[in-house]
Each structure stands twice: as C-alpha cells, then as structure tokens.
Amino acid sequence: MTDLPPDLPRLRTLETWLVLTLDEVRAAIAAAEQREQERQRGIEARPAPPDWLLEQGLNRDSPPVQVHVGDCWNAGKRRRGISRSEALQALADGVRACGACRPDSELGFLEG
C-alpha cells in the first residue's frame, strides 16, 4: 500500500489534487485526439499529385526548364502540374526531360 496520510483533511486535499490533475490529463488527451483527427482529415483530403510537372525558370519570363513525372524527387520548387498533352507538347517544343524520372520514356515520346 502507498504511504497515504492518515487524517481526513490531508486525504481530501490529496483527492482534490488528484481530481484536478486527472481533469488536466483528460483535457490533454482530448486535445491530442483532436489534433490526430485533424491530421487524418488533412491526409484524406489531400489532393492527388499531378501526373506530370513542368519546372519553371527563375522568373516568369524565363522558359520552362524541365518536364518531370508527377512524383519526381528531382523536381525543383518552381513547378506546376500539367496534363499529359501539355507534357508531350513541352517535350516537342524542346523542353528538356528530367534525367532522373525520364518522363519522355514514361510518355513514349520519341524525338524527331
């Protein structure tokens, strides 16, 4: 058995402290569960990645740099999702295909 005080006033004080502490723990658990539910909803609501990416140049007047497969690890930060036809058109217009993900092979694009 634990070493509890023998007198009623100290036992009541201990009980009050335990109730308050338990309320705090339950509130922390509820907040953690809420955060987890929100995280799960965010994961479920996340849109699917685009199938193809066009990596933009350094400014808006620069020509595109590369075409990538949608989940390419090598795609830069300045990119936007494009359709299959836009990816084929970009490759036909001379935009370079990424050497890591090889979108030209994925698209069946043959130069010429």
The answer as to whether 62 is a domain residue is: yes
Which pLDDT value is given to residue 31? 98
Rounded-to-integer distance, Cα 45 and Cα 33, Å:
18
Shared domain check, 31 and 59: no
Shared domain check, 59 and 18: no
Roughly how many angstroms between the first and final C-alpha of the chain, as a whole number?
Answer: 86
Expressed as residue numbers, the domain containing 101 is 52-107
Rounded-to-integer distance, Cα 108 and Cα 97, Å:
12
Beta strand residue intervals within 1-112, DSSP E: 52-55, 66-69, 79-82, 96-97
Shared domain check, 83 and 41: no
Shared domain check, 103 and 57: yes
Q: At residue 100, what is the residue type? A: A
The answer as to whether 112 is a domain residue is: no
Which pLDDT value is given to residue 27? 97
Q: What is the CA radius of gyration of the chain?
A: 29
User: Chain-centre distance of CA 67, in angstroms?
Assistant: 22
Shared domain check, 90 and 61: yes
Shared domain check, 62 and 29: no
pTM of the complete model: 0.60
The answer as to whether 1 is a domain residue is: no
Query: What residues form DSSP beta bridges with 54?
Result: 67, 80
- Provide the number of structural domains found in the chain: 2
Which pLDDT value is given to residue 106? 86
Rounded-to-integer distance, Cα 87 and Cα 36, Å:
38
The answer as to whether 2 is a domain residue is: no
Q: What is the pLDDT of residues 52-98, one digit of tens each?
A: 999 998 887 889 999 999 989 998 889 999 999 999 999 999 999 99
The answer as to whether 57 is a domain residue is: yes
Q: What is the pLDDT of residues 15-43, one digit of tens each?
A: 999 999 999 999 999 999 999 999 999 99
